[in-house]
Amino acid sequence: MLDNSRLRIAMQKSGRLSDESKKLLAQCGVKINLQEQRLIAFAENMPIDILRVRDDDIPGLVIDGVVDIGIVGENVLEEEVLDRRAEGENPQYKTLRRLDFGGCRLSIAAPRDFVYSGPECLNNLRIATTYPHLLRRYFSQYNVNFKTCLLNGSVEVAPRAGLADVICDLVSSGATLEANGLQEIEVIYKSKACLIQREGEMSPTKQALIDKVMTRIQGVIQARE
């Protein structure tokens, strides 16, 4: 077991958020020697352990209290919260700060020749997505029904492969949609990376460390603005 007196921070092991997450901690003066294959890294100069995992696991690790802090995309966090609520749970966590990286939007996109006249015209279509709960929440405002095609990757090829009529996926530059003959028709959620903390008591030393790191993060982000 990890030492519970040390602050545990979960971050993405490799992917779009990992470099910026590492950089943020480094700029806050946390010295970590990240060896590529290691799940756990220890800070040399502060009582901090870094857990490096898939981004999808981070909200659950924080909500379940396995780690103290997590750096994750709001899209992944919100989907996990909605999923747990659908399962009858009442997931708890605190947002410490929205971060200045990982920006993207969750959008509905349709084949280029699709004539779009508003959310209602998507009624009863099949939509390929990794984010069924965010999508359901969006459509519930319009009384629109849809069928899902759940995919954890290659969502953008679903219409061409005949698996779905339209898709709901993350977009940043729009190049992936363009390359797959799709047009963005509706933005349903805007996301950035964020820093979250587990609910419940922290020891005074851990809380003091969190306060110190948060003050530094504030300074780092302000300096970048």
Residues that bind ligand PRT (CB under 6 A): 12, 15-17, 54-56, 73, 75-76, 102, 104, 169-176, 191
CA distance readout (Å), 153 to 129, 130, 177: 9, 8, 14
**Nearest CB to Zn ion, comparing residues 55 and 68:** 55
Query: At closest approach, how far in Å is the CB of 43 from ligand PRT?
Result: 21
Contacts of Zn ion in 21-60 (CB under 5 A): 55-56
Query: At closest approach, how far in Å is the CB of 175 from ligand PRT?
Result: 4
| Residue 100, binding choice from Zn ion, ligand PRT, none, Cβ under 5 to 8 Å by partner class | none
**Nearest CB to ligand PRT, comparing residues 170 and 196:** 170
How many residues line the site for Zn ion (CB under 5 A)?
Answer: 2
Q: Is the dihedral of CA 217, 46, 21, 93 positive or negative?
A: negative
Cα distance between residue 180 and residue 171, in whole Å: 13
Number of residues written out for the chain: 225
| Residue 203, binding choice from ligand PRT, Zn ion, none, Cβ under 5 to 8 Å by partner class | none
Cα distance between residue 106 and residue 74, in whole Å: 11
**Nearest CB to ligand PRT, comparing residues 76 and 209:** 76
Half-sphere exposure of 181 (CA within 13 A, CB side): 9
**Nearest CB to Zn ion, comparing residues 59 and 119:** 59
Q: Is 3 exposed, middle or buried (0-12, 13-18, 19+ CB in 10 A)?
A: exposed
**Nearest CB to ligand PRT, comparing residues 153 and 200:** 153
Contacts of Zn ion in 128-157 (CB under 5 A): none
Cα distance between residue 69 and residue 6, in whole Å: 12
* Contact (CB, 8 A) for 28 and 48: no
Q: Which residues bind Zn ion (CB under 5 A)?
A: 55-56
